Chains A and B, each alone.
Chain A
Amino acid sequence: MIDVLSALLVLAGVGFYLTGSIGLLRLPDLYSRLHALTKADNLGLGLLVAGLALHSQELLTVLKLLLIWLAVLAASAASAHLIARHARRQETTS
């Protein structure tokens, strides 16, 4: 039962990663693409981490997975903001 649930979570996570990549390819401009990447990847990794945590059920491993999720979130939010800001500044000054 837990295995099934954990597999479903991982699959859903992969689905959102796929969505993020499709968005990256289909969306027309830099800002919209950043939307797809930040949001879909956050949820994708979150589901992946939830699935793996359920699978391992070892406290230290679960904590480590959570730490990885937080680190990736911080990095992706910060880099998305920096990319958007840089693009925006070039647009408005040139």
Chain B
Amino acid sequence: MAHKAALTLPGIMARTAAMAGIWWVITQGRADSWLVGAPAVAVATLASVQLSAHAPSRFSLLGLLRFLAMFVVESVRGGVDVARRTLGYRLRIRPGFRRYRLHLRDPRARVLLVNCISLLPGTLVSNLDGEHMEVHLLDAGEDPEPDLRRLEQAVAGLFGVQAEKRNV
């Protein structure tokens, strides 16, 4: 569950560095922009700390790489799939809804999962209530459950958390 923990000094410094990095990229490294940039970075860091005071998780680099690879592959599959279904002479869709149990407990992992599900071919999260999510399917004849589980595993690996085992 989400237990609040005071953010450590290294944690705050890491966030400040990240925000400064973003500003540096946005302004293409212009030195005179820091007059505006320094306050903006300070405010952004403050907001980020205020909004998420969770304990830092064990962030896994291998998990990140695995997640990114999956993200790219699924983006291409999702885009091609939707093109295939909509560009034909006849639309190849059979829309419908289905409910699935969420196996992730970490709230940040859940947010990322829900946002990424819209990238999988033919799935879109239409509602969330507690432990369940309702997914809209472009083709209700196909079961996306294995894809959803793989994505859940990848997101869990990214945050270094465990997706709980199935106990339905």
Question: Chain A: residues with CB nearer than 8 A to chain B?
Answer: 16, 19-20, 22-23, 26-29, 31-32, 34-36, 38-40, 42-44, 46, 60-61, 63-64, 67, 73-74, 77-78, 80-81, 84-85, 87-89
Q: Are A46 and B118 in contact (CB under 8 A)?
A: no
Determine which of A46, A74, A84 lies in contact with B136 in the assembled complex, contact meaning CB atoms within 8 Å: A84
Interface size class of B (residues with CB under 8 A): 20 to 34
State which of B2-10, B80-88, B100-108, B159-167 sits at the interface with chain A.
Answer: B80-88
- The 9 tightest CB contacts between A and B, nearest first, are A43-B79, A77-B115, A23-B86, A39-B78, A84-B126, A19-B83, A31-B136, A39-B82, A63-B25
Contact A35 B87 (CB under 8 A): no
- Set of chain A residues within 8 Å of B126, measured between Cβ atoms: 31, 81, 84-85, 87-88
Taking the closest CB of chain B, its distance from the CB of A27, in whole angstroms, is 6
Partner of A19, one of B82, B114, B136, B138: B82
